[in-house]
Structures are given as C-alpha cells and as structure tokens.
C-alpha cells in the first residue's frame, strides 16, 4: 500500500491518500501515522482519498474492527473533529464505503460521508465550518 499524509493547516484538513493492496493491519498503521505529524491537531477534519485500492479480502467485519481502532485512536488523542470524508471513484469499493458511512458514524461518533471526487469531499467538509460561523 502506498500512503501519503498531508495536513492543510489553512482549511484544518488531514488528507490521507492511499492506494494499492491493503489489509486491516496496514490501514491501522497508516491511520495512526497522523498523530505523530508535526501539524496534527485534534480539530482537523479527515479526508481519505482511495485510489486503485485493492481491498481484496477486506470484509465488513474488518471495517468494524478498523472503526473500533479509529475510535480508540481518536479518543486517545482527544480528537474533536465531527466530520470525515472518503473519496473513491471505484464503484465496487464504494459499496463497502456505504457500509462504512453507517457503521463508522455509529462507532466513531462523527459524520462520515463518501464522495466520488476530492472537490465534492472538500466542499462538504469546509461547508460545515461556514454553517457554524
């Protein structure tokens, strides 16, 4: 799996780009990297961009386990962001993301949404800030 993390401090976004074959352990390790980034902060909203992702044997049970891991990390690091977006153009992978939206929101306690384009995801994440102002 290729993984690249970037922090957009101006827009308060943590952007995680991942591609290639992956499994639960690799996803967990990749997610946890954000907490050691020098610009990470608890209020950053997440945008995960999935491209050519080989979910292979990634099952709904693994998605639940990943959600549990994310929730534990977020609690440990006192995360306060209430929204996260996933970007994926692949229709087959997006089917699992529909499950993730529901289960992730229940387990993690933040609003999770999936999008086809990065711009749609970015617009949705930033609109939350405008509505709160």
Question: How does DSSP assign 79-99, residue by residue?
Answer: ----EEEEEE--HHHHHHHHH
What residues contact 103, with CB distance under 8 A and at least 6 apart?
60, 63, 64, 67
pLDDT (0 to 100) of residue 131 = 55
Query: Would you place residue 52 in the very low, low, confident or very high pLDDT band (cuts 50, 70, 90)?
Result: confident
Domain ranges of the chain: 2-125
Q: What is the pLDDT of residues 98-114, one digit of tens each?
A: 777 877 778 888 898 99
Class of domain 2-125: alpha beta
Cα–Cα distance measured from residue 78 to residue 64, given in angstroms and rounded to the nearest whole number = 21
The whole model's pTM is what?
0.87
């Amino acid at each position: 799996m290729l993984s690249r993390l970037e922090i957009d401090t101006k827009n308060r976004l943590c952007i995680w780009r991942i591609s290639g074959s992956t499994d639960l352990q690799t996803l967990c390790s990749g997610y946890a990297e954000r907490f050691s980034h020098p610009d990470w902060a608890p209020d950053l909203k997440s945008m995960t961009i999935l491209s050519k992702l080989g979910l292979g044997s990634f099952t709904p049970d693994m998605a639940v386990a990943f959600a549990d891991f994310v929730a534990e990390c977020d609690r440990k690091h006192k995360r306060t962001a209430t929204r996260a977006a996933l970007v994926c153009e692949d229709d087959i992978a997006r089917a699992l993301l529909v499950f993730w939206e529901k289960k992730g929101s229940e387990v993690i306690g933040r609003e999770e949404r999936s999008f086809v384009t990065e711009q749609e995801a970015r617009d949705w994440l930033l609109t939350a800030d405008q509505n709160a102002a």
